[in-house]
A and B are shown apart, each in its own frame.
Chain A
Amino acid sequence: MTVMRYAEALNAALREEMQRDPSVFLFGEDIGRYGGVFKVSKGLRDEFGDARVRDTPISEQALTAMAVTAAMSGTRPVLEIMYADFLPLSLDALVNQASVFTYLWEGQVDIPFVLRTQGGGGVGTGAQHAKSLDAMVCHIPGIKVVAPATPADAKGLLKSAIRDRQPVVFLEHKLLYNTRGEVPDGDDVLVPIGKAKTVVEGKHVSIFASSKMVIEAENAAKLLAKDGVEAEVIDLRTLRPLDLDAIRRSIAKTNHAVVVNEGWTFCGYASELSATIMEHCFDDLDAPVARVAMPDMAIPYSEPLEMAVLPNAVKIAAAAKKALA
Chain B
Amino acid sequence: MINAPSTDELKDIHHKMVVTRELEEVLGAYAKEGKTRGPIHRCDGQEAVGVAACAALRADDYVCTTHRGHHVYVGKGLTTRGIVAEIFGRETGYCKGRGGHMLLGDVKTGMLGGNAIVGAGIPAATGMALSMQILKQDRVSMVVFGDGAAQTGICHEAMNMAGLWKLPVIFVLENNQYGLTVRQEVQSPVEDLSVRAAGYAMPGEIVDGNDVEAVYRAVAAAAERARRGDGPTLIEAKTYRVKGFSTSDMGGYQSEEEMAPWLERDPIKLSAEKLSALVGADTVAAIEAAARAEVAQAFETALSDPFPTFEIHAPSAAYSETK
Closest to B117 in A: A96
Closest to A59 in B: B157
B160 touches A59 (CB 8 A): yes
CB contact under 8 A between A69 and B112, given known A108-B105, A242-B320: yes
Chain A residues with Cβ below 8 Å from B103 are 100, 104
Q: How far is the CA of A69 from the CA of B153 in the complex (A)?
A: 18
A66 touches B158 (CB 8 A): yes
* Size class of the contact patch on chain A: 35 or more
Closest to B103 in A: A104
Instruction: From B113, B133, B164, give the contact of A57 (CB < 8 A).
Output: B164
Instruction: Report which residue of A93, A109, A241 has the largest number of chain B beta carbons within 10 angstroms of its beta carbon.
Output: A241
A69 touches B128 (CB 8 A): yes
B157 touches A61 (CB 8 A): yes
A104 touches B120 (CB 8 A): no
A195 touches B320 (CB 8 A): yes
Interchain nearest-CB distance for B144 vs A (Å): 15
Chain A residues with Cβ below 8 Å from B137 are 74
B120 touches A96 (CB 8 A): yes
B127 touches A68 (CB 8 A): yes
Chain B residues with Cβ below 8 Å from A101 are 105, 113
Instruction: From B113, B123, B318, B320, give the contact of A66 (CB < 8 A).
Output: B123
A75 touches B134 (CB 8 A): yes
Q: How far is the CA of A142 from the CA of B98 in the complex (A)?
A: 15
Q: Interface code A170-207, partner B: CB below 8 Å = 1, 0 otherwise? A: 00000000000000000000000111000000000000
Interchain nearest-CB distance for B84 vs A (Å): 18
| A 36-81 contacts with B by CB, 8 A | 51-52, 54, 56-57, 59, 61-63, 65-75, 77
Interchain nearest-CB distance for A165 vs B (Å): 8
B124 touches A68 (CB 8 A): yes
Q: Interface code B293-323, partner A: CB below 8 Å = 1, 0 otherwise? A: 0000000000000000000010111111101
B158 touches A92 (CB 8 A): no
Chain A residues with Cβ below 8 Å from B316 are 99, 102-103, 141-142
Q: How far is the CA of A243 from the CA of B125 in the complex (A)?
A: 36
A65 touches B105 (CB 8 A): no
- Asked if A97 CB lies within 8 Å of chain B CBs, one says yes
Closest to B158 in A: A62
Interchain nearest-CB distance for B213 vs A (Å): 30
B153 touches A104 (CB 8 A): no
B107 touches A104 (CB 8 A): no
Closest to B122 in A: A62
- Asked if A5 CB lies within 8 Å of chain B CBs, one says no
Q: How far is the CA of A63 from the CA of B95 in the complex (A)?
A: 26
Closest to A99 in B: B316
Chain A residues with Cβ below 8 Å from B319 are 241-244
Chain B residues with Cβ below 8 Å from A242 are 318-320
Closest to A69 in B: B127
Chain A residues with Cβ below 8 Å from B117 are 92, 96-97
A52 touches B120 (CB 8 A): no
For the complex, count residues of B whose C-beta is within 8 A of A.
Answer: 47
Closest to A165 in B: B315
Q: How far is the CA of A130 from the CA of B320 in the complex (A)?
A: 29
A62 touches B107 (CB 8 A): no
- Asked if B270 CB lies within 8 Å of chain A CBs, one says no
- Asked if A166 CB lies within 8 Å of chain B CBs, one says yes
Chain A residues with Cβ below 8 Å from B123 are 61-63, 65-66, 69, 93
- Asked if A6 CB lies within 8 Å of chain B CBs, one says no
A70 touches B320 (CB 8 A): no
B313 touches A57 (CB 8 A): no
Interchain nearest-CB distance for A18 vs B (Å): 12
- Asked if A155 CB lies within 8 Å of chain B CBs, one says no
Q: How far is the CA of A100 from the CA of B120 in the complex (A)?
A: 13
CB contact under 8 A between A241 and B318, given known A59-B161, A104-B95: yes
Chain A residues with Cβ below 8 Å from B317 are 241
Chain B residues with Cβ below 8 Å from A109 are 105, 107, 112
- Asked if A83 CB lies within 8 Å of chain B CBs, one says no
Q: Which A residues are closer than 8 A to B by beta carbons?
A: 23, 25, 51-52, 54, 56-57, 59, 61-63, 65-75, 77, 92-93, 96-97, 99-106, 108-109, 141-142, 166, 193-195, 238, 240-245
Q: List 15 A-B contacts (CB under 8 A).
A: A23-B134, A56-B161, A57-B161, A59-B160, A61-B123, A71-B127, A72-B128, A73-B131, A75-B134, A103-B313, A103-B316, A108-B105, A108-B106, A109-B107, A109-B112
User: Beyond A66-B123, A103-B316, A104-B105: 16 further Cβ-contacts under 8 Å?
Assistant: A23-B135, A61-B157, A62-B126, A62-B157, A63-B157, A66-B124, A66-B130, A71-B127, A72-B128, A97-B115, A99-B316, A101-B105, A105-B112, A106-B313, A241-B317, A243-B321
